Amino acid sequence: MTGMGFGIFRVGLTVAICVATPSSAFAQQKVVGDAAAVVRYVEGVTGPDVRKIKVSDNIFFDDRIITREDSASKIHFPDDTYLTVGPNSRVTIDAFVYDPDSQNSKMVVNATLGVARFVTGRMGSAAYQIRTPTTTIGVRGTVLTVTVAQDGTTSAIVEDGSIEAQGQVGDPVVVEEGLSTTVKPGEQASDPAPPDADVESDVANMDIMLLLDGGDQGGNDAVSDDELAAIVEEVEQTRAAGCGC
């Protein structure tokens, strides 16, 4: 699995976000993080407002982060959590409450399509939750990658630490580092197993987008579409041949 380096950005300010309706001015004005990296076209949707996200732009409570093909973004939160959103993906920040001196901190991310990597920060592990159409995931201090298909089928790969994945039925499954679980609609989470090659390919594509980050506004405009497609195809072929990376 590709290793990811993450810079540290200290924020000594308490951030408290309360649940509100998407259309409320209160929700639109509450900043929960910033865009640490943006590759090509990434949208932020807050209520009725749609904007193109650039590097260092604010990310708001209840923001829907939407990426297009060959696009990606990395979002930084005040507790040093990082959320990477891959191509053709949709992620919503459902809840974020962070107080360094409080046990009431909370973060809920709703991944509805595509691929996203979640790296926990300084809040207690019980504060973090990831939701998809078929799965609820609790983390235990972890690096986790989630892929969500059109029908809601979810695969969760644990890169570091461990998770507890709960499907729509059945008991939760604990997944340790280096393993994954898959949850289909109406089914329970599968037993932990090595990640599926197709899922790993989707994760690799996300990593490629960010590795090629360069050019104006943090986009990879210096790389042509043909060059990018060739790199992606090469990685997919290598994985299909069983490189195990």
Q: What is the pTM of this model?
A: 0.75
The CA-atom distances, in angstroms, between 196 and each of 142, 193, 203, 244 are 20, 9, 11, 10
The predicted structure's pLDDT at residue 134: 97
Q: Which long-range contacts (CB under 8 A, 24 or more apart) does 150-156 make?
A: 150/113, 151/184, 151/185, 152/185, 153/182, 153/183, 153/184, 153/185, 154/111, 154/182, 154/183, 155/180, 155/181, 155/182, 155/183, 155/195, 155/196, 155/199, 156/180, 156/181, 156/182, 156/183
- In degrees, to the nearest 5, what angle opens at C-alpha 82 toward C-alphas 79 and 87? 155
pLDDT in tens, 173-215: 999 999 999 999 999 999 999 998 888 888 888 888 777 664 3
Has residue 232 got a pLDDT over 90? no
pLDDT in tens, 47-69: 888 999 999 999 999 999 999 98
HSE, side-chain direction, 13 A CA sphere, residue 106: 9
More confidently predicted of 59 and 8: 59
Torsion angles phi and psi, residue 237, rounded to 5:
-65, -40
Supply 3's token pair.
Answer: 């290793």
List the domains of the chain with CATH numbers. Answer: 15-194 (2.60.120.1440), 198-240 (no CATH)
The predicted structure's pLDDT at residue 207: 84
In which element (H, E) is residue 204 found?
helix 197-211
For residue 217, give the DSSP letter. Answer: G
CA dihedral 38, 198, 180, 228 (to 10 degrees): -20
Dist CA 222 CA 212 (whole Å)? 9
pLDDT in tens, 66-103: 999 889 999 999 999 999 999 999 999 999 999 887 78
Is the CB of residue 66 less than 8 Å from the CB of residue 93?
Answer: no
Supply 109's token pair.
Answer: 């991310």
